[in-house]
Structure 1
Amino acid sequence: MELFGTPIENIYLFVLIIAGILTILYLFFGDFIEVFGEISPFLNPALILAFITFFSAAAYILELVTSLSSIVIIIISSILAFILAAVLNIFVFIPMKSAEESLSYTEDSLKGRVGKIILSVPEDGFGEIVIKSKSGTISKPAASYDNELIQEGTRVLVIEVKNGVLYVVPYETGFDLESG
């Protein structure tokens, strides 16, 4: 079969090459395009590129190795591409998205955490605190909850969070389950 005077195999190959190039560009510049993923989960550029890549690859291979009609090849390739894109979404994209979210933290989740002062907190001033967790180390500005001096190296308890600043008090070790 020919389309616009060009053999259909060449068109599938051309689409496959273009989809591959767009996929590589998406890897580098995907953050700019992710805005469309926020509008609708069905317009995820990675899934669209995966579908086009799977479709054109399957159609190209089927055109070369089978004697099926082009309409049958388009139907088979579409079904195969849909299934492969769905599997990619379910087993790769969705777990990656939830894993990315689980590594984040909210300011409210820092209340009640124990950390260490790395820059002394002066009276009525700001220092810096480090809180260690399983997902990494968090460094935030800190102020004394009671407006008192807190020396560098002191373990502290986060009491309150306002405007990105953690208000802390010295942590008295009694029954301590956390090391840090």
Structure 2
Amino acid sequence: MEAVFWCCLAFGALTAVVTLVFGDSLGGAADGLFGWLSIDVHHLFQPVVLSGAVTVFGGTGLLLHRYSGLPGPGVYAASAATAAVIGTGVYFLYVRPMRGSENSTGYSMSELAGKRAEVLTPIPASGCGEVLVRVGAGNVNHVAASFDGEEVPAGTPVVVVEVKEGTLYVSRMD
């Protein structure tokens, strides 16, 4: 019995180290593995959750075997229950929040209303120019027209008032 728990503890610890080093690659490889499931349970089978549960199973089993008066099946059952609780906790407290925190470079044109920008190409009173808008971690250039109907020289800080038909209507910052 003790050998099973030692193997689980060692395997879990080794898997945790491998997951730490190669976690993104392993997680990406496992993405298609559970694609046939119609429910969202496959996210529970992330390498970090599985390695954590196996490690907890082995460690809890060793402790209960040595320091409790539980019979063999009781030690296995208590170890498995503890591993399930800890594995679920790791998923809900670490893995799931981290999945939602990924950054995206995508944006919608409608999100640009209210953003600050800088005029790159002068905007004539009744025509279009170009502005540089900071979006996320990068900058994007867009066609812009004056919202107030006045000329805006290059280098002027502006704010995007509205977006219509792919054109940003901007006004000088005051």
Question: TM over 0.5: same fold?
Answer: yes
Does structure 1 residue 144 correspond to structure 2 residue 143?
A: yes
Does structure 1 residue 111 correspond to structure 2 residue 112?
A: yes
Q: Which segments of 5 or more consecutive residues in structure 1 lack a partner in the other structure?
A: 1-7, 132-136, 175-180
Paired position in structure 2 for 1:48: 50
Cα distance in 2 between the residues matched to 1:30 and 1:153: 46
Pairing partner for 2:10 from 17, 30, 55: 17
Paired position in structure 2 for 1:129: 133
Deviation of 1:59 (Å): 0.6
What are the residue-to-residue correspondences of 1:1-180 with 2, within 5 Å? 8-35=1-28, 36-37=30-31, 39=35, 40-98=42-100, 100=101, 104=104, 106-108=106-108, 110-117=111-118, 120-121=120-121, 128-131=132-135, 138-146=137-145, 151-157=154-160, 159=163, 167-173=167-173
TM-score (structure 1 length as normaliser): 0.65
SS in 2 for 1:171: strand
SS in 2 for 1:151: coil
Contact 1:63 1:70 in 2 (8 A): yes
Contact 1:52 1:81 in 2 (8 A): yes
1:31-76 alpha-carbon deviations (Å, 9 max, x no partner): 1122325742232222211211111111111122234332221111
1:142-161 alpha-carbon deviations (Å, 9 max, x no partner): 12234998623422316269
Cα distance in 2 between the residues matched to 1:161 and 1:12: 65
TM-score (structure 2 length as normaliser): 0.67
- With CA pairs under 8 Å and 6+ residues apart, which has the higher RCO, 1 or 2? 2
SS in 2 for 1:129: strand
Deviation of 1:15 (Å): 2.2
CA shift in 2, pair 1:41/1:150, >3 Å = farther
Identity across aligned pairs (percent)?
A: 14
SS in 2 for 1:120: strand
Count of aligned pairs between the two proteins: 155
CA shift in 2, pair 1:84/1:154, >3 Å = same
Paired position in structure 2 for 1:4: none
SS in 2 for 1:68: coil
